[in-house]
Structures are given as C-alpha cells and as structure tokens.
Chain A
Amino acid sequence: MAFLEVKGITKLFGGLTAVDKVSLQVEKGEIVSIIGPNGAGKTTLFNMLTGVYTLSEGEIIFEGKIIHNRTPQEIVQAGLARTFQNIRLFAEMRVIENVLVGMHINTHYTFLDLLFRTKKFRSVESEKHRTAVEILESIGLKDKMHNYATNLPYGDQRRLEIARAISTNAKILLLDEPAAGMNPQESEELLRFIRGLRDKGYTIILIEHDMNVVMNISDRIYVIDHGKKIAEGLPAEIANNKKVIEAYLGRSE
C-alpha cells in the first residue's frame, strides 16, 4: 500500500459536487502535483486531507491507518501539514513565533515544567528556538525573524507559511499554490528549496498554477477538472495530454 492512499473521496456542498470520487496514491519521498482549472476542487481536496472538511464519501489512509475520521490536530500529529491558498499567518506575532507555533506539537514539556522553568523546559525551549532559526535560515527569512508576520511582503508571507508547515515535522507537506505572487526568479528559488525538502526526506503534494514550477519539479501529476480526476502521469505525459491542454493549459506558450 502506498504511503498516502486516497480512495474515492467525494465532497458535496449542497447540490454542488466539489470533489467527485477522486483517488490518488502518493509514495514516500515523491513530489506529486495536483493541477486543474480554477474551481476544480484542488483546495477542497486539501481541506479533506487535513481534516478541515469531513468527507461525504471515501477514505484516506496514511501509513496504513485510516485518518479521515480524525481531528485536524490528530492529522498534523500523524504527519500531514499544509499551507493555505489564502495566507493565514498569525499576523500579530513575530516571524519566529509563527514557526514556534508550528513546532507546538513536538515541543514536549509539562505545565509544571513551564510554570517552574525547569531545566527540561529551558533545554527544550532553546533547542526549539535553534531549530526555528535554522528553518528560517533555510528559507531565507532569518534576517526577518523579528518582524511581525503582517508586515512582510506577500512573497515572504508565502515563504513563512511553508516554514511554519515544515516546522510541524510533518512527513507530508501539502503546499497550496506556494509560488503565487512570486516572480520567475523567486519561484525558481522556491523550486530549489522544495527540491531540497524532498532530498531531506519530505513527501510533497503541491497545488500550483505555475507550469514552470510544476513541470520541473513534479515526479507525477494528477489533473482534476470539475471535481473529477481527468488525468495522471509524468510531467511530460501531462503536458501533451489533449484533455489537459484543452481544459487547463490552453494554447502552449
């Protein structure tokens, strides 16, 4: 069985079928992209994977365990973390604090530890701060760690979202349009960064409209249209798939 196995999941909003019996498999260490026209149901798919929405139908199995009936917190614990298409940072918190919140689930000390500032508390805190700074450095935000998230320009906010997701120590990262709002130069940097993540052992599921990024980085691609999976395959196959070109890519550049 695959690392992450999505079996025929469906989401209804009233009369609208936003996601329609979609199945996917993701293997460990892969970068899998999900593309499709606007309103195809990609973000909704992420929302189901991360427990924001309950499924209308189907099941999600991660590392052999059913996770679709778990709370969002349990799903993060299990190892799926995400970024948001509409940036949702902790606006009035500092950049580094955003990352530290991301580390919340693996910051282990008890209430008494924190109340009495025990040795354990101090060592865990300084270790987490060190890791946080490392993560920020790796994504190029170390200089801005004292800033408040809300004051960052759009592109940096996107980066910070990724940093925050990484910091949960997740096994799978679900990135929803991380390159949106970046210029080609910047998205290229991002691309390198994401590759680096994979090399470190992360599995990545990516939603992206920037074909430069998608085609260059993905191991495999799924295409969704109107809630249904219409194609899957290697980047080269997808790029030449008639259906995909018609529904999504438009005339090639």
Chain B
Amino acid sequence: MVLQQLSNGLTLGMVYALIAVGYSLVFGILRLVNFSHGSVYAFGAHMAMLFVSMQFGIIPAFILSIVLTGILGIAIDKMALAPLRAKKSKGIAALITTIGISYIIQNVLMITFGSQTKFFPKLFDFGSIYIGGVAFNTTQICISGVSLMLLLILSCVIRYTKVGLAMRAVEQNQKAANLMGIDVNFVVTFTFFLGGASAAIAGTLISGYYQIVYPNMGFVAGLKAFSAAVLGGIGVLYGSIFGGLVVGISESFAAAYLGGSYRDAVAFLILIIVLLIKPTGLFGKKGITKV
C-alpha cells in the first residue's frame, strides 16, 4: 500500500509539475507571478473539450487548444501587461492585473460553458500495468512522460538557443536587453505563448486523466502548482518538476495517513518548512547583488 500511495503521489505530482512549469517560465523571465495561469489552464482544457465535442478528433483538438491558449497568453500580455511594462511600473501592479484577468477568464468560461462539471473523454488508455502489485495507470505514465519531455524541450530552448539567451537577458535587465538589440516585446510574447501552450497541455492531459472539466478547475490546482514551483525554486524549471513531486507525494501520504482533509495543509506545511530551511526553494539561486 505504501508503494501504491507513492505511485498515486507521483502521478499527482506530475500533474502539479506540468502546471508549475508554466508559472516558473513566466516568473523566470518577467519576475511576475502570473495569477491568471490557473484560469488559462482551465481555458486550455475547455478548448480541448470544445474541439473534441466538435468532432475534430483528439490530436487535432489537442493541437488547436495549445495554439489557441498560447494566443490567449499573448493576448493577456499585449492587452494588459505590456502597457504596465512600458510604464515601468512595479511588479505588484501586474500581479493585480493577472488576478483581474483570471476573474475575466473564469467567469467567461462559466457563462459560456456553465459552472457544472463536464465530461472529458479519456485521452489514451491502454489499461493498467501491474508491477509488484502496484497498479500503474498508463495515463499516469503518459502524463509523466509528457511532462518530462516538455521540461526537456523548454530547458534546451532556454539553455542552448539564441531566444533562450535573450530570455535570460530580459529576465536580468530589460533596459540592457533593449540596448543589446533584443526585441524585448517579442521575447515576452514568446514566453507568454509558451506559458499558455504549456497550460493547455497540462489542462488537456489532466482533464483526460480525471475525465472532467469545470471552469474553476485551475484554482486549487493552480495554487498547489504555484507552491510546487516555489518549493522547487521558482524560475528553475527542473525545480518545478521536483517541487511538484514533493507536493504530490506528501499530499498523497497525508491523505492516506492523516485524512483527506489534511492533505492541503500538509502540502503547505512542507512548503513552509522547506522555505524556512532554504529560503529560495530547493534549487533556487540567491539573487546576486554586490554591495
């Protein structure tokens, strides 16, 4: 049973990790906690559901939703956040903006799709695999696989490509990035596209796993994923995966051994304890400020 709980926790952790990567990505570049990420994730899931119900087939629906959600990410930036950047306003103003946006997205979803929980078809199901008496759902394995792949691709983009270098430069110092001839707005747009797309991937996979969608699905998942991202050291992509796993596994064990109503508290308690020991998360680096 312990092993089974571990496997439960791993899957849940991968779910969080998948969402957390989006938080980390945008934070990593803009130092902005994007509170609309959870609702963007819900948006992605709803789009996939919509296209599936329009008989597009699962894969095209998936791709359409990724593109559309990516575009939503861009739209959020262009309409609401870019003007703030142009005014060189403090990050906290942008935080409130993203909260406002999440209100808008979530309520629009509710008005168009209704607030009730809706069915989402299973994405890939090849039954369960039993290893030593522990059941591994193939969907779980696929989720983990996709998360890892996504992470790998993103890490490579950031580490080895010119766009990636530009992204890191924008993160460090936007003014100087401008002076280097980097099109800062493009870099930010690109980042938001990636953030949106990754949210859509997460939303679709997770909806396929639980087979349900609802407008508010991004709220709790978003908070947990956010704390997973912070736990791993926000801005550090592999940290998000690790943070997601820690949160997922601790939740799973807490639910099993302390009771389901403690699971959320335990996840946050672990987060707090980790931060008290290591104030920048597990893999976060301290900001460098030489006096």
Q: Which residues of A contact B (CB under 8 A)?
A: 43, 47, 52, 84, 86, 88
Q: Does B291 contact A (CB under 8 A)?
A: yes
B-chain residues with CB within 8 Å of residue A86 when the two chains form the complex: 290-291
Instruction: Considering the complex, give the chain B residue whose CB is closest to the CB of A52.
Output: B291
CA of A52 to CA of B289, assembled, Å: 12
A-chain residues with CB within 8 Å of residue B291 when the two chains form the complex: 43, 47, 52, 84, 86, 88
B-chain residues with CB within 8 Å of residue A52 when the two chains form the complex: 291
A-chain residues with CB within 8 Å of residue B290 when the two chains form the complex: 86
CA of A84 to CA of B289, assembled, Å: 12
Nearest-neighbour CB distance to chain B for A115, whole angstroms, equals: 28
Nearest-neighbour CB distance to chain A for B50, whole angstroms, equals: 46
Instruction: Considering the complex, give the chain A residue whose CB is closest to the CB of B90.
Output: A92
8 Å CB contacts to A: which residues of B226-263?
A: none
CA of A86 to CA of B290, assembled, Å: 9
Classify the secondary structure of A's interface with B. loop
CA of A52 to CA of B291, assembled, Å: 8
List the 3 shortest-distance A-B pairs measured between CB atoms, nearest first: A52-B291, A47-B291, A84-B291
| 7 A-B contact pairs sorted by A residue (CB < 8 Å) | A43-B291, A47-B291, A52-B291, A84-B291, A86-B290, A86-B291, A88-B291
CA of A52 to CA of B290, assembled, Å: 10
Nearest-neighbour CB distance to chain B for A179, whole angstroms, equals: 19
CA of A43 to CA of B290, assembled, Å: 10
Nearest-neighbour CB distance to chain B for A209, whole angstroms, equals: 18
Nearest-neighbour CB distance to chain B for A86, whole angstroms, equals: 8
CA of A88 to CA of B289, assembled, Å: 11
Nearest-neighbour CB distance to chain A for B290, whole angstroms, equals: 8
B-chain residues with CB within 8 Å of residue A84 when the two chains form the complex: 291
Nearest-neighbour CB distance to chain B for A76, whole angstroms, equals: 14
Nearest-neighbour CB distance to chain B for A175, whole angstroms, equals: 14
CA of A43 to CA of B291, assembled, Å: 8
Instruction: Considering the complex, give the chain B residue whose CB is closest to the CB of A43.
Output: B291
Nearest-neighbour CB distance to chain B for A32, whole angstroms, equals: 21
Instruction: Considering the complex, give the chain A residue whose CB is closest to the CB of B290.
Output: A86
Question: What sequence of 0s and 1s flags, for each residue 278-290 of chain B, a beta carbon within 8 Å of any chain A beta carbon?
Answer: 0000000000001
B-chain residues with CB within 8 Å of residue A43 when the two chains form the complex: 291
CA of A109 to CA of B62, assembled, Å: 66
Instruction: Considering the complex, give the chain B residue whose CB is closest to the CB of A50.
Output: B291
Nearest-neighbour CB distance to chain A for B124, whole angstroms, equals: 49
Nearest-neighbour CB distance to chain A for B35, whole angstroms, equals: 24
CA of A47 to CA of B290, assembled, Å: 10
CA of A11 to CA of B239, assembled, Å: 32
CA of A84 to CA of B291, assembled, Å: 7
Nearest-neighbour CB distance to chain A for B91, whole angstroms, equals: 14
Instruction: Considering the complex, give the chain B residue whose CB is closest to the CB of A85.
Output: B291
CA of A211 to CA of B7, assembled, Å: 69
Question: What sequence of 0s and 1s flags, for each residue 12-48 of chain B, a beta carbon within 8 Å of any chain A beta carbon?
Answer: 0000000000000000000000000000000000000
B-chain residues with CB within 8 Å of residue A47 when the two chains form the complex: 291
B-chain residues with CB within 8 Å of residue A88 when the two chains form the complex: 291
Nearest-neighbour CB distance to chain A for B173, whole angstroms, equals: 13
Question: What sequence of 0s and 1s flags, for each residue 69-107 of chain B, a beta carbon within 8 Å of any chain A beta carbon?
Answer: 000000000000000000000000000000000000000
Nearest-neighbour CB distance to chain A for B243, whole angstroms, equals: 28
Nearest-neighbour CB distance to chain B for A55, whole angstroms, equals: 15
Nearest-neighbour CB distance to chain A for B49, whole angstroms, equals: 47
Nearest-neighbour CB distance to chain A for B57, whole angstroms, equals: 55
Nearest-neighbour CB distance to chain B for A51, whole angstroms, equals: 11
CA of A161 to CA of B291, assembled, Å: 14
Nearest-neighbour CB distance to chain A for B230, whole angstroms, equals: 27
CA of A88 to CA of B290, assembled, Å: 11
Question: What sequence of 0s and 1s flags, for each residue 120-134 of chain B, a beta carbon within 8 Å of any chain A beta carbon?
Answer: 000000000000000
Nearest-neighbour CB distance to chain A for B1, whole angstroms, equals: 48
CA of A22 to CA of B145, assembled, Å: 57
Nearest-neighbour CB distance to chain B for A54, whole angstroms, equals: 13
Nearest-neighbour CB distance to chain A for B285, whole angstroms, equals: 15
Nearest-neighbour CB distance to chain B for A137, whole angstroms, equals: 29
